């Protein structure tokens, strides 16, 4: 459970985040600033049980949310204003006539036929049109936004854009109906280059079009270069992912023959399914990320009951692991605290104490709790009655090893 950063936030800019295991989690991350499923590390074989459209929808939602905040306010709103943006361009259709006209291209005629009078004359009549690279890109973008919103609606049953943001971003579609222009089926690189080099709002339109095109098309390297940053920007979110990655790598280090599967994207709760499952002949571990496993939540718990009056969310830890083993079933609830401030890290102890009262322990299970902080802040591995623990990511690996081998 994450809280706003404390007064020592400025010091955290120089605090490193352990990235062990984060690349392994890449294709299953579905949080804000999503990691798409083209990052597939070869050393891990994880069977994905869910559709990639879930992550694509999260990616599209992140792009549209960012576009509404940074791009939509700088775009024209009215159809009349957009018409002014669509500059008319002069094109010349080439035809052949039996007689010369005012639009005969004499140089081209002589180069093709070599004499005068000529059997035919090359006629290049000028035509003014509003169809251009700018109109094609903006119209394709409007159609792509509608497609992205439909995907988000299908996967999450919610809208990514406000009515005003949608009106601004899809305004070219209204202009198209007036000007009888149609959206192209394909986005051409040449049109994007022209759009990106134009003035006014067009570089913003081109950037958004490139980002949305990367949700469904383009090769992996191009997508990585064009799409928004894939890992979360906040150090606290990265540290939560590092905590999850540490748990996964610690389990995998002693279970080399185990089968791994993913029942739900990381950061996208789906019917309280684990984002990772590891299983072999005598061992199973389900890993939940910011989700309370089924059967653990008490509807009449103190926080749930009192917090209802304040309309607050339910308590949920960062990582919850369920170990099924011959020596007895164990749960490990992990709360990560990315800070150098001892009082802020200590708030994690208060939180796990709250979890111990708020979430029921099923019969036949033993539950452990651990608060994890950066090693720069916590050097010593501390425990209370072998039930509550405080340490860093290295200590988390040690604790998981003790659970796996039955030492605890």
pLDDT value at residue 177 = 63
Residue 24 DSSP one-character state: T
Global pTM value: 0.64
Q: Give the C-alpha separation, 354 to 335, whole Å.
A: 12
Out of 7-11, 104-108, 169-173, least confident range: 7-11
Nearest CA to 92 among 67, 68, 128, 117? 128
Q: What is the mean pLDDT of residues 282-304?
A: 85
pLDDT value at residue 35 = 39
Beta strands in 224-313 (DSSP E): 259-262, 276-279, 284-289
Domain ranges of the chain: 9-22+232-404, 65-85+132-226, 91-129
Higher pLDDT, 179 or 274: 274
Q: Is residue 287 exposed (0-12), middle (13-18) or buried (19+ Cβ within 10 Å)?
A: buried
pLDDT value at residue 218 = 54
Say yes or no to pLDDT of 141 above 80. Answer: yes
pLDDT tens digits along 88-130? 554 566 888 888 888 888 888 888 888 888 889 888 876 655 6
pLDDT tens digits along 189-238? 888 898 898 878 889 999 899 888 877 775 544 554 544 444 455 567 77
Q: Give the C-alpha separation, 193 to 203, whole Å.
A: 9
pLDDT value at residue 268 = 58
* 223-260 as b/e: b if 16+ CB within 10 A: beeebeebbbeebbbbbbbbbbbbbbbbbbeebeebeb
Q: What is the DSSP string of 351-369?
A: HHHHHHHHB---TTEEEEE
Q: What is the mean pLDDT of residues 254-261?
A: 83
Out of 13-27, 248-262, 379-393, least confident range: 13-27
Res. 331 pLDDT band, cuts 50 70 90:
very high
CA angle (187, 232, 40) in 5-degree steps: 65
pLDDT value at residue 383 = 95
CA dihedral 54, 59, 62, 63 (to 10 degrees): -140
H/E element, 241: helix 235-254
Say yes or no to pLDDT of 139 above 80. Answer: yes
Q: Give the C-alpha separation, 275 to 277, whole Å.
A: 7
Compute φ and ψ for 361, nearest 5 degrees.
Answer: -100, 115
Q: Give the C-alpha separation, 273 to 286, whole Å.
A: 9
- Unique residue bearing structure tokens 């802040």: 377
pLDDT tens digits along 40-49? 344 567 777 7
- Unique residue bearing structure tokens 């798409």: 36
Close Cβ partners of 136 (under 8 Å, ≥ 6 residues apart): 183, 184, 188, 191
Out of 150-154, 225-229, 319-323, least confident range: 225-229
Output helix, strand, coil percentages for the chain, rounded to the nearest 5: 45, 15, 40
pLDDT value at residue 392 = 95
pLDDT tens digits along 297-309? 777 778 878 887 8
Q: From the CA atom positions of the chain, what is the Rg in Å?
A: 29
CA angle (243, 372, 9) in 5-degree steps: 90
Close Cβ partners of 405 (under 8 Å, ≥ 6 residues apart): 254
**Token pair belonging to 224:** 């990585």
Name the average pLDDT for the chain.
Answer: 79
Nearest CA to 69 among 149, 207, 161? 161
> Cα dist. 317→2, 88, 284, 387, 388 in Å?
9, 58, 21, 16, 14
Q: How many percent of the chain have pLDDT more than 70? A: 77
CA angle (375, 379, 384) in 5-degree steps: 115
Q: What is the mean pLDDT of residues 50-65?
A: 78
For residues 104 and 123, the answer to whether their CB atoms sit within 8 Å is yes
Q: Looking at 78-234, list the stretches that DSSP marks H as alpha helix, in order from N- to C-terminal side.
A: 79-85, 106-113, 133-156, 163-169, 171-179, 189-197, 202-216, 220-226
Nearest CA to 336 among 347, 325, 326? 347
CA dihedral 251, 252, 254, 260 (to 10 degrees): 100
């Amino acid at each position: 459970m994450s809280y706003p950063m404390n007064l020592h936030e400025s010091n955290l800019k120089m605090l490193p985040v352990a990235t062990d295991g984060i690349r392994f989690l890449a294709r299953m991350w579905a949080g804000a600033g999503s990691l798409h499923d083209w990052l597939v590390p070869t050393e891990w074989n994880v069977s994905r049980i869910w559709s990639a459209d879930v992550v694509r929808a999260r990616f599209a939602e992140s792009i549209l949310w960012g576009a509404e905040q940074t791009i939509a306010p700088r775009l024209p709103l009215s159809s009349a204003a957009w018409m002014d943006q669509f500059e008319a361009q002069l094109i010349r259709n080439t035809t052949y006539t039996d007689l010369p006209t005012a639009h005969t291209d004499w140089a081209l005629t002589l180069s093709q036929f070599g004499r005068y009078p000529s059997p035919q004359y090359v006629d290049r009549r000028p035509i003014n049109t509003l169809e251009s690279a700018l109109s094609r890109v903006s119209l394709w973008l409007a159609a792509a936004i509608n497609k992205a919103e439909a995907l988000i609606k299908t996967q999450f049953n919610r809208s990514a854009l406000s009515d005003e943001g949608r009106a601004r971003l899809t305004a070219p579609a209204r202009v198209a109906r007036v000007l009888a222009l149609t959206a192209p089926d394909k986005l051409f690189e040449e049109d994007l280059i022209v759009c990106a080099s134009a003035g006014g709002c067009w570089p913003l339109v081109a950037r958004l079009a490139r980002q949305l095109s990367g949700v469904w098309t383009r090769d992996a390297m191009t997508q990585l270069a064009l799409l928004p940053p894939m890992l979360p920007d906040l150090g606290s979110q990265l540290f939560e992912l590092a905590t999850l990655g540490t748990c996964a790598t610690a389990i995998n280090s002693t279970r080399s023959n185990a089968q791994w599967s993913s029942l739900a994207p990381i950061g996208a709760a789906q019917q309280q399914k684990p984002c990772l499952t590891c299983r072999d002949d005598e061992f199973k571990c389900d890993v939940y990320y910011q989700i309370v496993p089924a059967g653990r939540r008490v509807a009449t718990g103190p926080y749930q009951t009192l917090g209802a009056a304040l309309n607050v969310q339910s308590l949920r830890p960062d990582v919850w692991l369920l170990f099924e083993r011959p020596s007895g079933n164990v749960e490990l609830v992990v709360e990560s605290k990315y800070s150098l401030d001892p009082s802020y890290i200590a708030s994690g102890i208060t939180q796990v104490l709250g979890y111990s009262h708020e979430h029921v322990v099923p019969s036949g299970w033993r539950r452990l709790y651990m608060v994890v902080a950066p090693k720069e802040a916590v050097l010593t591995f501390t425990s209370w009655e072998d039930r509550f623990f405080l340490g860093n990511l290295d200590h988390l690996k040690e604790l998981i090893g003790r659970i796996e081998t039955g030492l605890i």
